[in-house]
């Protein structure tokens, strides 16, 4: 029964996530936000909404902290794997050969790596803290908003990026209709994520897989689906820069959501009470990000079975990482 609930809620999130993501981007374009700072924040939070709700439910209602943290750091492993999907859709050689090495890509990836390093440090080092707040969580907030501000400047200075959109601007759709659709789909995603978190918690207990592995793999996979929607839509429209930018931006947002979620565990910084395995999961996300950056930087790469060498590296390492995390569950 709990597996059925998990599958149904996952399907609900997929469908509602498609509507939610496209309406959020359409709203951004209609209000002429483009990919400026608020536009980036809007789309970033929309695609990360399932992660946020699932983690909040896990902390506040279920008190399953490893499930919550595993969901967020695990999602940062799935997001770089979107490159493999981009490669499958692109089919004109290695997709990273066609992605221009814009400064904003390297900046967002760098900020995501720095934020992840703060999380790893927080797991192992007892930094000064005041209740749920710590030096590490304050750094996360400062780096996240500083990074978003920097990205807005880089995007504004690059006409190719500032003019990209996920969906064509349809003037016939009223703003009221967009807002209504955005609100309804948001509510559906929230309800779906709540059921998803509860069923994932049950699966972790009854299957013996453990909250750390279920959160880092099963839950993270499903809650990353809105990012997949953005990636697929962007590639089909030929907006490769938007697709890869969303991957790095979502990783930044997930770490920020980790900070926000941790505020609901009031006793002490939540990263002090969770499994140290999450640090390994976070470390893998850094490796995946570096591989994607290397693929963007190095051009004229060969393909094997229509996938670039960087995509094959991601596949092999992801399977290896999943096996290691399974063994440590």
d(C-alpha 311, C-alpha 99), whole Å: 14
Mean pLDDT for the chain overall:
84
Max mean pLDDT among 23-32, 221-230, 311-320 falls in 311-320
Residue of 278 and 105 predicted with greater confidence: 278
Cross-strand bridge partners of residue 308 = 303
Spell out the residues 6+ positions from residue 164 whose beta carbon is closer than 8 angstroms to its own. Answer: 35, 234, 239, 241, 242
Query: 208: how many CB neighbours lie within 10 A of its CB?
Result: 9
Q: What value does the mean pLDDT take over residues 27-36?
A: 63
d(C-alpha 323, C-alpha 217), whole Å: 11
The pTM assigned to this predicted structure is 0.88
| CATH number for domain 2-327, candidates 1.10.940.10, 1.10.287.70, 1.20.1420.30, 2.40.10.10 | 1.20.1420.30
Measured CA angle at 145 (ends 13, 161), to 5 deg? 70
Q: Give the DSSP letter of residue 270.
A: G
Read off the pLDDT of residues 199-235 as tens digits, 9 standing for 90 and up: 888 888 888 888 888 888 888 888 888 778 777 777 7
| C-beta separation of 119 from 73 below 8 A | yes
Structural domain spans, the chain: 2-327
d(C-alpha 207, C-alpha 116), whole Å: 30
d(C-alpha 259, C-alpha 136), whole Å: 9
DSSP labels, 304-315: ETTEEHHHHHHH
Q: Is the pLDDT of residue 149 over 70?
A: yes
At 318 the three-state DSSP class reads: helix
């Amino acid at each position: 029964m709990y597996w059925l609930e998990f599958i149904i809620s996952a399907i609900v999130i997929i469908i509602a996530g498609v509507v939610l993501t496209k309406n959020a981007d359409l709203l951004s374009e209609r209000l002429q936000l483009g990919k400026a700072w608020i536009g980036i924040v809007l789309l970033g939070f929309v695609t990360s909404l399932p992660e946020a709700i699932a983690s909040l439910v896990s902390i506040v209602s279920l008190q399953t902290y490893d499930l919550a943290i595993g969901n967020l750091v695990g999602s940062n492993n799935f997001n770089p794997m979107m490159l493999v999907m981009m490669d499958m859709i692109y089919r004109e050689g290695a997709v990273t050969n066609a992605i221009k090495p814009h400064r904003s890509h390297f900046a967002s990836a760098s900020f995501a790596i720095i934020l992840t390093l703060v999380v790893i440090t927080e797991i192992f080092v007892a930094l000064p803290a005041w209740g749920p707040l710590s030096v590490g969580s304050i750094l996360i907030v400062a780096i996240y908003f500083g990074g978003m501000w920097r990205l807005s400047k880089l995007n504004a200075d690059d006409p190719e990026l500032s003019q990209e959109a996920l969906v064509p601007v349809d003037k016939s759709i009223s703003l009221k209709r967009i807002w209504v659709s955005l609100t309804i789909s948001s509510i559906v995603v929230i309800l779906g994520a709540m059921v998803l978190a509860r069923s994932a918690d049950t699966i972790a207990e009854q299957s013996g897989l453990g909250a750390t592995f279920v959160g880092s793999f099963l839950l993270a996979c499903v809650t990353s689906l809105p990012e997949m929607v953005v990636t697929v839509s962007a590639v089909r429209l030929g907006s490769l820069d938007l697709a890869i930018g969303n991957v790095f931006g979502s990783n930044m947002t997930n770490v920020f959501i980790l900070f926000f979620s941790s505020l609901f565990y009031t006793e002490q910084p939540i990263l002090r009470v969770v499994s140290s395995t999450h640090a390994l999961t976070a470390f893998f996300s850094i490796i995946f990000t570096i591989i994607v950056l290397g693929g963007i930087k190095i051009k004229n790469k060969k393909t094997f079975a229509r996938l670039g060498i960087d995509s094959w590296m991601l596949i092999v390492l992801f399977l290896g990482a999943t096996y290691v995390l399974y063994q440590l569950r």
